[in-house]
Amino acid sequence: MDIPDHTFSEHRAHWASLRRDLHAHPELRFEEHRTADVVAGELQALGYEVVRGLGGTGVVASLPGTDPARAGIVLRADLDALPIKEANDFAHASCTHGVMHACGHDGHTVMLLGAARVLKQMPRLPGSVHFVFQPGEEGGAGARKMIDDGLFTQFPTEAVFGMHNWPGLPAGHFGLRTGPIMAAGSRLKITITGRGAHAAQPHLGIDPIPLACSMVLQCQTIAARHKDPVDPAVISVCMFHAGDTDNVIPDRAELRGTIRTLSSTLQQKLQRDIQQMCEALAGAYGAQVEVEYFQYYPATINTPAETAFCEDVIRATFGDARIRNDIPANMTSEDFGFMLEERPGTYVLIGNAPQDRASPSLHHPQYDFNDDVTEEGVRYWVALARRYFERA
């Protein structure tokens, strides 16, 4: 059954207004209380029964299928914003100082709400469609928390699907690939403890600063020499803190950074290598070291059958010219990888770049979601749900 264009177009103004309202009122991970209220209110107005509280501030609504014995599919959007001071001056700029929707989660939320609206108006499908609005994607592993709170137990699921806007693609175009599309990632903290001394008497102390500098350099050697050259990995030390004045050797230094790989196995290997390197260097200097890893995200790995299916959906809905099925894997991380560890599925990118101007990158203080792609995102979600259950 073809869907008339007016089914989508008549809601454009509402979707744009809703998206800009969310953009103006961003909330950080696990603080998305107003955002969850807005989402729940929209869903309830459409006649959905809403479940709240999974993962803390998550919202889930389900469109039941005609076959109660069949598991459903999850369509997922994320709710949270970033701790970034917005540099835009348009009317819907952030009202909360130091917080903004710099990654387009406001747009993701509205696209999924749009799909919930359109699918509600159509004949019931054989299986259920679960609309999952997830908190805490930005460093909080909200997907993992929703799973641990019983997401797939309460909403039986046979496949999961996610979508993220992408300024590097033309608006309304789609990118996908089989296998890893986003990297595994973990945060790194190295704490070095030496012995403080007067700057003019370094022999009386154990200076942690040159030791920390050696560790930074050796991290790059690990990335370049401890793995297969064709297996991508990035180790970035992004923070170095030691001391408080210019004539005292401090007793402590702290490094922080991140490790990104396209496989969880390599991620674990590099963690072990960094641990061993730090302990060996600290021993040679006579210092102590503690290495901690936190905020781990697995690689986002698209399964072959579901990726081929999503490619067919995009080609049938938008035409061959609107798809790139060989999009390069990106070294950013995404906690949808936790869902893909539990169920087969696919994560796609939807182009966000406007035609008339340059598009700031994700996490840039001048970023804004392109409202022109909302309808395209809704069309994709609706077509995916219908075609998934129409297959033999």
* Environment class of 164 (CB within 10 Å of its CB; exposed 0-12, middle 13-18, buried 19+): buried
Tell me if 118 sits within 8 A of 378, measured CB to CB: yes
CA atoms 104, 108, 114, 118: torsion sign: positive
80: left (phi over 0), alpha (psi -120 to 50) or beta: beta
CA atoms 299, 303, 304, 309: torsion sign: negative
Helix spans in 226-286 (H): 264-285
Q: Residue 69 half-sphere exposure, CB side, CA atoms within 13 Å? A: 0
Q: Which residue in the list 42, 80, 86, 273 is annotated as catalytic? A: 80
User: Helix or strand or coil: residue 85?
Assistant: coil
Q: Which residue in the list 27, 106, 137, 138 is annotated as catalytic? A: 137
Tell me if 226 sits within 8 A of 268, measured CB to CB: no
Q: Is 80 a catalytic residue?
A: yes
How far is residue 222's CA from residue 270's CA, in Å, rounded to a whole number?
7
**Which positions are catalytic?**
80, 137
